Structure 1
Amino acid sequence: MDVVFLSRLQFALTIMFHYLFPPLTIGLGVVLVYLEGMYLRTREPIFENAARFWTKIFGLNFALGVVTGIVMEFEFGTNWAAYSRYVGDVFGSALAAEGIFAFFLESGFLSLLLFGWDRIGPKMHFFATCMVALGGIFSSVWIVIANSWQQTPAGHVIREHTINGETFLRAEIVDFWALVFNPSTVNRLIHVWIGCFILGAFFVMSISAWYLLKGRHIEFAKRSFKGGLLLATISSLAQLNSGHYQAEGVAEHQPAKLAALEGVYKTEKGVGMYIFGWPDDETETVRFGLEIPGMLSFLVHGDFNAEVAGLDELEERWGRPPVWLTFQAYHIMVGIGMLFIGSTLVACFYWWRGTLFEQRWLLWYFVFAVGLAFVANELGWVAAEVGRQPWIVYPTVVNGELVGGLRTSDGISEAVRASQVLSSIIFFGLIYLMLFALWISLLHKKISHGPEPLTESPPEHKGTVLGAAAALRRHEHSLTEADEQSES
């Protein structure tokens, strides 16, 4: 058993499980802001009713995200001590900023969001919702900045240190804002955010489509579905444009990753772009591939006959990423994205025709399409992280030479043993299975219960003593009716 492989596997499993929750939290946060904003503008109870329902699911998802995220920070010390020592100055500032500016903001207003209904006014509750949504977005900012620095390091110098006779290298910040706005930060942030919005929108549409197919909560489901469809359509189209700029940055700063993403084994002119295929490292070809001739050359260089560097030229200098996994993760992600563009546009066409909710086949598609949204988010990170191997921190090019960088095999803890990592994989695997089962069970319970019945209390009474008194009178009235029915 290889300790490096097992440690990589452990981190991949823990972060992929954790990443089920933050994108959905961010996406649902945007949905909640929209629903409460519409309620303030229109005062229609259906929007408040929808906001209350989705807030319950948001709270459940937020809790699972926090619990599963803690483990990864411990892994930096237990499995990746050499890596942590190398990047500690960089990661320390980014993670501290995430805690100060994001997590405290998000968690501080979370109690008002979850428990503030009928206790504070609608405007204050809307403000709390905005702060929670903003906190989730801020949290992603600092995490993506830290990860982007690993992909395209900037704003630092490599210094040599000696402690207790041991000499090691350490990346230290010299320009904080250059670190924050490293060459890939902005493109990656936009790409991640749009992926979160897509997931949140498809999650809302999935549950709403289920209600419509079962004939339950019809008005609530229609309003929620239309809002989700609008967000999903805009985000899916925007993601296509974002992905193009993301690829341009990869071509400039991580040429070996680009070659793995597109299965370019040999340096050639007029390189095509594969729609799908099966990379074969032995023959260094893409088998069973469907290719658009010259398209990769055009997208990278603006010329259908331009030369694109292949792994035969890049491997000696940059190393070779695992081509098959990188290629497949990337192409499946892109394929799902194109499917989302097509399906949301078709749904918008039926919406325009006024027959959207008559298309049962389309509603059934949206019930299950949320699974594809989860898959696309996960595969995006797989392509990004596997594609930068064998580097855990990519080197930079200075005067034609590679400077800095840390190979994955050099980032492992010296004290950790393969048997220890394997036992922790099994242990945490069991815990995560139980957490996943708990999440599904509670989610099913909340979806089965559905939104609460509409109440017609005057909007100006919300969050006031009069509102509380009115709620108490409604409760007493319902108890009186129940007593009368039992006596009869």
Structure 2
Amino acid sequence: MDFLSDTVVLSRMQFALTAIFHMLWPVLSTGMAIYLVVVEGLWLKTRNRDYYLHARFWAKLYVLNFGIGVASGLPMEFQFGTNWAPFSEAVGDFFGSILGFEGAMAFMLEAGFLGIMLFGWDRVPPLMHWLATIMVAFGANLSTFWILTANSWLQTPAGGEFIGGKFIVSDYFQAILNPFMLNSFLHMFFATLETSLFVIGGISAWYILNRRHPGFFGRSLKVVLAVAFVVAPLQIFVGHLSAEQVYHYQPSKLAAMEAQWDTIPAGSSPAWSLVALPNDQEERNEWEVKVPGMLSYLLELKPTLSEPVQGLNEWEPQDRPHMVGLIYYSFRIMSGIGIFLAGLMGFSLWRWLRGKLTAEAIVEQKLMLWGWLLAAPMGYIAVECGWIVRCVGRQPWTVYGELRTADMATPLPPPEVLTSLLGFAGMYSLLFVGALYFGSRIIRKGPNLELPLPQSVSKAPLAVEPMQHQPDQRPIETQQ
């Protein structure tokens, strides 16, 4: 229990808690906003009432996530001033301005148009409402851009130099366009979108399995599947590019990701560690299962390495990541989930092409539907694991190779940090329970299929006749 008297450890635990909890909510809101743009656009194009009803129903879950994301995100940023004041003083001229851009540009844009998206259906023309939805989605994903820009700069600092322990910016655009920025943003963009798609698909599968409006939710599952056909493979490709960058820019992190203790020379065809039991104290793996000759293909798509893969023993213990097992398995869980989601997408697409996703046949696709239901939380797990690899693997540096985490914490008394840590844990637990309660209420109640169209279009003829929904086929007692 020595960590209870260590301010740095407690401050890191508090930031980890707030970051892991906060990440649950914008992951869904940023991706679901794009889905809302798609279904509302389909409604405007086809005048099919189903798409309008989908936009209204899924917007309820969006706003629930948005609210909790705001409540959990602000305290996380405040910690840069409370628990990490030396860090803020050292890099605030750049890092602080980037976080300011996120609040002033992205969050305000999203929040400013959110009211129109939620309450403007009968107050603004349909195209203006769609524009508001687009602005909400753009603001949400612009927030992702600025957050990933700031974090990427911590991974590969650029655009200036440290003078007297303080970062002096010489080229602002070079700092923004640091080597990690583009792939990091794309990887997170596709992660949020893919997570949202499989959450929407999983909830749709739950309704279909329970024979609640299978035709209606079969339509949402098809929209999700059409977008996932593009997103799931792209996410795997961009993930590979991100791993390549770690190979070139952060060799100590790569060594931890692969639990590689000894250096592998260039020109070799090393095996890839599938599973292992890393031992930090003895600086070796207790046991491991390897795939011969695979590592060079994963890193360079070639049979032999053109560059060496440095092992953890190349660095002194104080200069390399610890908790190797956590980094090693977080990376594999993230990668495995990405492959599983792509496989589920491929299987579902095959069933669609076989004509098995019609309103009448989809209820019989139980294996596929259970796959989507089980996949619903997997995107969250993959995102959290990815951030663990990204941030824990960066240690012992706050700014990679420049500022040590141990030197960047505010020298607060440990009991004060422990009190705030426990306070955050209690508050976030209440928020989590509240989110599950209200989210489950929205889902149990289901969509209002009798909701009238906006007055501006309710008298216009429909370009496509609305689908005749099958009645709710649950037993009478479960409908009440």
What TM-score results when the alignment is normalised by the length of structure 1?
Answer: 0.88
Q: Residues 336 and 376 of structure 1 are in contact (CA less than 8 Å); yes or no, is this contact kept in structure 2?
A: yes
Percent identity of paired positions between Structure 1 and Structure 2: 40
Gaps of 5+ in 1: 161-168, 396-404, 468-488
1:359 deviation in Å? 1.6
* Match in the other structure for 1:242: 238
Q: CA 1:346–1:459 in 2, change beyond 3 Å: closer, same or farther?
A: farther
Q: CA 1:148–1:299 in 2, change beyond 3 Å: closer, same or farther?
A: same
Q: Residues 45 and 455 of structure 1 are in contact (CA less than 8 Å); yes or no, is this contact kept in structure 2?
A: no
Q: After superposition, give the CA deviation of every residue in 1:50-98 in whole Å (9 maximum; x if it has no partner).
A: 0000111111110110110000121111111111111111112201211
Q: Which amino acid aligns with 1:412?
A: A
* Match in the other structure for 1:386: 392
Q: CA 1:352–1:459 in 2, change beyond 3 Å: closer, same or farther?
A: farther
User: What is the 5 A alignment of 1:1-80?
Assistant: 1-80=5-84
Q: After superposition, give the CA deviation of every residue in 1:196-255 in whole Å (9 maximum; x if it has no partner).
A: 011110110111011101111222201111111222332221111101110111111100
Q: Residues 271 and 308 of structure 1 are in contact (CA less than 8 Å); yes or no, is this contact kept in structure 2?
A: no
1:455 deviation in Å? 5.1
Distance 2:426 2:81 in 1: 22
1:368 aligned to 374, 396, 400, which one?
Answer: 374
Q: Residues 321 and 392 of structure 2 are in contact (CA less than 8 Å); yes or no, is this contact kept in structure 1?
A: no
Q: CA 1:353–1:172 in 2, change beyond 3 Å: closer, same or farther?
A: same
Larger RCO of the pair (alpha carbons < 8 Å, separation 6+): 2
How much is the aligned-residue C-alpha RMSD, in angstroms? 1.8
1:252 aligned to 235, 248, 251, which one?
Answer: 248
Q: Residues 45 and 456 of structure 1 are in contact (CA less than 8 Å); yes or no, is this contact kept in structure 2?
A: no
1:151 aligned to 155, 175, 179, which one?
Answer: 155
1:459 deviation in Å? 7.7
User: What is the 5 A alignment of 1:39-438?
Assistant: 39-160=43-164, 169-269=165-265, 270-301=269-300, 303-306=302-305, 307-315=308-316, 318-356=319-357, 357=362, 358-395=364-401, 405-414=402-411, 416-438=412-434
Residues 337-346 or 269-278, more deviating = 269-278
2:457 aligned to 435, 455, 461, which one?
Answer: 461
Q: Which amino acid aligns with 1:124?
A: M
Q: Which amino acid aligns with 2:228?
A: A
Distance 2:86 2:427 in 1: 27
Q: CA 1:281–1:295 in 2, change beyond 3 Å: closer, same or farther?
A: same
1:370 deviation in Å? 1.4
Q: CA 1:455–1:7 in 2, change beyond 3 Å: closer, same or farther?
A: closer
* Match in the other structure for 2:467: none
Distance 2:340 2:390 in 1: 21
Q: CA 1:420–1:440 in 2, change beyond 3 Å: closer, same or farther?
A: same
Question: Rg: which structure is higher?
Answer: 1
Q: After superposition, give the CA deviation of every residue in 1:152-195 in whole Å (9 maximum; x if it has no partner).
A: 000022122xxxxxxxx211211111011100000000000010
1:22 deviation in Å? 0.7
Distance 2:38 2:275 in 1: 38
Q: Which amino acid aligns with 2:323?
A: P
Distance 2:298 2:316 in 1: 22
1:342 deviation in Å? 1.2
1:456 deviation in Å? 6.5
SS at match of 1:72: helix
Distance 1:256 1:348 in 2: 40
Q: CA 1:216–1:263 in 2, change beyond 3 Å: closer, same or farther?
A: same
Q: Residues 7 and 421 of structure 1 are in contact (CA less than 8 Å); yes or no, is this contact kept in structure 2?
A: yes
SS at match of 1:268: coil
Q: CA 1:315–1:257 in 2, change beyond 3 Å: closer, same or farther?
A: farther
Q: CA 1:288–1:362 in 2, change beyond 3 Å: closer, same or farther?
A: farther
Q: Which amino acid aligns with 1:362?
A: M
Distance 1:380 1:21 in 2: 16
SS at match of 1:20: helix
Q: Residues 36 and 59 of structure 2 are in contact (CA less than 8 Å); yes or no, is this contact kept in structure 1?
A: yes
Q: How many correspondences in the alignment?
A: 446
Q: CA 1:460–1:117 in 2, change beyond 3 Å: closer, same or farther?
A: closer
* Match in the other structure for 2:470: none
1:279 deviation in Å? 1.6
Q: CA 1:45–1:303 in 2, change beyond 3 Å: closer, same or farther?
A: closer
